[in-house]
Amino acid sequence: MYITDTAKEYCSLRDRIFEKLYDHLNDMQRQAVLTTQGPLLVLAGAGSGKTTVLTNRVAHIVRFGDAYQSNYMPKSLTDQDIMALEDYLKDLNAGKKELPEEVEGLLALRSVYPSGILALTFTNKAAREMKERIFRLVGEDAAAIWISTFHSTCVRILRRDIEKLGYTRSFVIYDDTDQLTVIKECLKELDINEKYFPPKEVRAAIGSRKDELKSPEDYAKEVHGQYREEKLARIYAAYEARLKKNNALDFDDLLNKTLELFYLHPDVLNYYRNKFRYILVDEYQDTNFAQYMLVKLLSDTYGNICVVGDDDQSIYRWRGADIRNILEFEKDFPHTRVIKLEENYRSCQNILDAANQVIRHNTHRKEKSLWTKRGKGEQIRICRAFNEQQEAEFVCNEIKRHISTGGRVGEVAVLYRMNAQSRVLEETFMKYAVPYNIYGGLRFYDRKEIKDIIAYLRLLDNPADDVSLQRIINVPKRGIGSATLASLQEAAVQRNLSILDMILDLDTNMVLSGRTAERVKEFGRLISELTVEKDARPLTDFIDYLLQETNYRSALEEDNSIESESRLENIMEFVSAAREFENNNPEGGLTEFLENIALVSDIDRMEEDTGEGKSSVSMMTLHSAKGLEFSIVFLVGLEEGLFPHARSMDSEEELEEERRLCYVGITRAKNRLYLTYTNQRTLYGSPSLNIPSRFLKEIPEELTEDVSMQLGGSGGYGRKSRGVPVSGAGAYGYAASGPEQAGYSRRAGFRAPGLASSARLDGQSASRPAATSGGKEGRFQPGDKVYHTKFGNGTVVAMEGEGSNLTLKVAFIQGGIRSFIAELAPLKKV
DNA sequence: TTGGTGGATCTTTTT
DNA sequence: GATCCACCAA
């Protein structure tokens, strides 16, 4: 192309303007923002400003369209234009970022409609956050951009065209509990024993097939001749048929049916792929095959696909995420530009070094190394405790010390591998009156009473929904038991009707008789009546009416227990959630409300989600901590068998995922990181002896400092850890501050029914020696290398029980973890 | 049909 | 230790 001097000058000015305009970004970030054309892979390490890049990139596209990097230039550039650009650059240098319209016209050469941008996330929270930040950058234009989760995006597409696939627009979305119900029905129908095909396993199998986009027919062909798999294929087929009959989609279907729609109706696909000129994907390392396909298909016309992610933070393999998507992105999308963001704005260098060192032990990854301009910061503090009670006391003491020196509790987080670990922490925090807040666990919309109400609503919205009907036909008790239900169901299948249709026309169908028939008919009348009222009343009003007419509320009120009281409270909460929805979506009806519940179910978190301004310590699993940051982080339970989890220890791939989880945990900390582990821990009811996690050993000693507690007199523990001399261990004397029973209030906000009362933690028999077993089995210790006549060499990773019940868990070099009764097993130390 | 009991099982979770 | 579920008695 012939380039004039004016054009050259234009380009150089444009470059300098953008550099100045984005001088709040580092070089790599700026590159990522300005690279708008073609495939782009941004490898964004933890805390490297990933969201900043995404939002600025979207804003840049909205404001300047295809300007940068494209061959487009203003058709006729005048000297005046050049002068205008020069003036603007001067303004910028003087700190004035306001963009005059004529300059914008010179820079933005081909405009892009905001509605031509699609940004995909995994969680609603991420979508919400991105939307807000883009709004702040570009104002009203942000409203037209498609920023939402994969699932919401698919629902939006499906609501328009799903009739082409033979569903109605008021389809329901089944969650995993509903899936189990359907699977159990299928097993019954096919006369398959649940023992040999546990519903949960079947669900996982079906889920995997769906992730791979395999239909029941595909699968059946593939496994032809294999008995078990063939059965699974039949269950899968029955499952699909039932969902369709119920006019229901599961979560996987939201993606798969969208793809199906695209395959069967290319006109629909073409509409969207021509519409979305720019596509961005957040957390790309978490995508599964279906999501990959969706992105691949939609980006085909323009090829402007930008994915942001961190392979080191891929922790959802077990949920279908395929790390290969990010590792092989460059192969899948030729001519990809790769940009690595390695500068970290969150943590001190010691913390980053620890993270870098741990993750280095993984083999399948893209080489990255985090660094910061901040200093080294504090040493990483490692504490060995005798048992989990003591571990929790240590955490409490440290937090109290932090508070007494002017620190805030909101800056602190305690992270653990399993939810079960939260109990002891919770009890101890209560005892010491440290306010805390547990995130995760049972979600609001998963509570029994809430699911019941939702089931009523779903049935009314979609009378074909047999699953919801089964849930509530006898809730509250109406004397309709499983036998009645079974015969109704069978008859419905025979006549190819929904169960509700059967019930409403029971006289013609003649399935039941006498008292039972009367009760069922009564239920039918109730539903008919509600169906009429549903359209006659506003949403909130109707839900209230429903609670009344079904006797759901009165049944709870009569119950008079603490539990039912909390259930009633939750129902009130639900009603106010409905009211809020009604206010925010005056147009939305029942269908929209239910969709909102299925897809946007995090009202629990929203209330308290105020980051470090909170007035309580945050406790959560490592998985839920992804994406968050805290000044002070406690990573507890770093023991072999717990973290890495025993279930993950028999495959290298799963072990690497555990290591990534550890990496995620470490990189949550901004200023101070504690790592704790115990010698003994009660898990699943019986005590076990543990050895420190291998991840601890992967952190260089010069980054760490031992702060183990000194036990009152019993010695031995806390003296030394991994050869590091104890520095002033006494300063952390545990029992330094006694329990303060009062103080703690439920304000910290857990709503779980009927807990709070069981804080009997008197005295604590913590210093009693472990179940170390005298006698001959005492010869074994966790960490011992052993030889088994059948399985060969291995290491004792855990011990449980005592005396003749003492069992050893041994990790064998070949063939995983096995448990043995110590007395009986042909094991010897080597 | 309901309610009680013994036995097995026990990661991680968003949509 | 806690929960879920299949099975059995009333």
The closest nt to A682, taking CA to C1', is: C1
What is the predicted pLDDT for the residue at A199?
87
Distance A427 CA to B13 C1' (A): 25
User: Is the model's pLDDT at A716 over the cut of 60?
Assistant: no
Distance A120 CA to B14 C1' (A): 14
What is the predicted pLDDT for the residue at A743?
29
What is the predicted pLDDT for the residue at A95?
80
List, for residues A137-194, the tens digit of each pLDDT value.
999 989 999 999 999 999 999 999 999 999 998 899 998 888 988 998 888 888 888 8
What is the predicted pLDDT for the residue at A475?
87
Among residues A596, A701, A684, A592, which one has the least CA distance to residue A646? A684
Which CA-bearing residue is nearest the C1' of B10?
Answer: A684
Task: Give every CB contact of residue A45 below 8 A, 6+ residues apart in sequence.
Answer: A310, A312, A340, A341, A342, A344, A368, A370
What is the predicted pLDDT for the residue at A724?
35
Most confident of A24-38, A435-449, A471-485: A24-38
The closest nt to A194, taking CA to C1', is: C6
Report the percent of chain A where pLDDT is more than 90.
56
What is the predicted pLDDT for the residue at A70?
53
Torsion, Cα of A313, A316, A320, A326 (10° steps): 0
Q: What is the mean pLDDT of residues A396-406?
A: 94
What is the predicted pLDDT for the residue at A54?
96
Give me the long-range contacts of A715-722 (CB less than 8 A, separation at least 24): A717/A384, A717/A385, A717/A386, A717/A679, A718/A384, A721/A382, A721/A384, A722/A382, A722/A692, A722/A696, A722/A697
Which CA-bearing residue is nearest the C1' of C2?
Answer: A684
User: Is the model's pLDDT at A820 over the cut of 90?
Assistant: no
Distance A186 CA to C6 C1' (A): 18
Strand B nucleotides, any atom under 7 Å to a protein CB: 1-3, 10-15
Any idea which residues of A carry the catalytic annotation?
50-51, 282-283, 313, 668
User: Is the model's pLDDT at A814 over the cut of 70?
Assistant: no
Q: Which two tokens stand for residue A748?
A: 């910290």
pLDDT band at A603 (very low <50, low <70, confident <90, very high): low
Residues A388 and A498: their CA atoms lie apart, in Å, by 52
User: Looking at per-residue confidence, does A712 or A531 come out higher?
Assistant: A531
Residues A165 and A107: their CA atoms lie apart, in Å, by 45
Q: For residues A695 and A644, is the Cβ–Cβ distance under 8 A?
A: yes
Residues A663 and A46: their CA atoms lie apart, in Å, by 9
Q: What is the mean pLDDT of residues A741-766?
A: 28
Q: What is the mean pLDDT of residues A278-292?
A: 96
User: Is the model's pLDDT at A769 over the cut of 50?
Assistant: no
What is the predicted pLDDT for the residue at A96?
79
Q: Which two tokens stand for residue A174?
A: 């089944």
The closest nt to A421, taking CA to C1', is: B11
What is the predicted pLDDT for the residue at A2?
54
Bridge partners for A278 per DSSP: A117
Q: Which residues touch strand C (CB under 7 A)?
A: A 180, 194, 682, 684-686, 758
User: Looking at per-residue confidence, does A415 or A714 come out higher?
Assistant: A415
Which CA-bearing residue is nearest the C1' of B8?
Answer: A195
Which CA-bearing residue is nearest the C1' of B1?
Answer: A481
Q: Which two tokens stand for residue A408?
A: 């805030």
| 3 state SS of A670 | strand
Distance A422 CA to B12 C1' (A): 14
Distance A360 CA to C9 C1' (A): 61
Q: What is the mean pLDDT of residues A801-813?
A: 64
Q: What is the mean pLDDT of residues A542-558?
A: 92
User: Is the model's pLDDT at A752 over the cut of 70?
Assistant: no
User: Is the model's pLDDT at A613 over the cut of 80?
Assistant: no
What is the predicted pLDDT for the residue at A76?
72
User: Is the model's pLDDT at A775 over the cut of 50?
Assistant: no
Q: Which residues touch strand B (CB under 7 A)?
A: A 122-125, 149-152, 175-176, 251, 318-319, 417-420, 440, 443, 474, 477-485, 516, 598-599, 601-602, 620-621, 623-624, 645, 647-648, 654, 658, 684-685
Q: For residues A798 and A640, is the Cβ–Cβ distance under 8 A?
A: yes
Among residues A465, A129, A153, which one has the least CA distance to residue A297? A153
User: Is the model's pLDDT at A420 over the cut of 80?
Assistant: yes
List, for residues A649-698, the tens digit of each pLDDT value.
888 999 999 999 999 999 999 999 999 999 999 988 889 999 999 999 99
Report the percent of chain A where pLDDT is more than 70.
84
Neighbours of A401 (CB within 10 A): 14
What is the predicted pLDDT for the residue at A551?
92
Strand C nucleotides, any atom under 7 Å to a protein CB: 1-2, 5-6
User: Looking at per-residue confidence, does A385 or A759 come out higher?
Assistant: A385
The per-residue pLDDT of chain A, averaged, comes to 84
What is the predicted pLDDT for the residue at A97?
74
Lowest mean pLDDT among A226-240, A330-344, A501-515: A501-515
Residues A593 and A574: their CA atoms lie apart, in Å, by 12
Provide the 8-state DSSP code for A110: B
User: Looking at per-residue confidence, does A606 or A728 come out higher?
Assistant: A606
Residues A250 and A244: their CA atoms lie apart, in Å, by 10
What is the predicted pLDDT for the residue at A805?
58
Lowest mean pLDDT among A132-146, A221-235, A736-750: A736-750
Q: Which two tokens stand for residue A745?
A: 């209030």
What is the predicted pLDDT for the residue at A74?
65
The closest nt to A684, taking CA to C1', is: C1
Residues A663 and A355: their CA atoms lie apart, in Å, by 5
CA A613 → CA A157, A407, A609, distances in Å? Answer: 38, 12, 9
A518: part of which helix (H) or strand (E)? helix A514-536
Lowest mean pLDDT among A113-127, A500-514, A528-542: A500-514
Distance A449 CA to B4 C1' (A): 23
What is the predicted pLDDT for the residue at A326?
95
Per the listing, tokens 């239900």 go with: A485
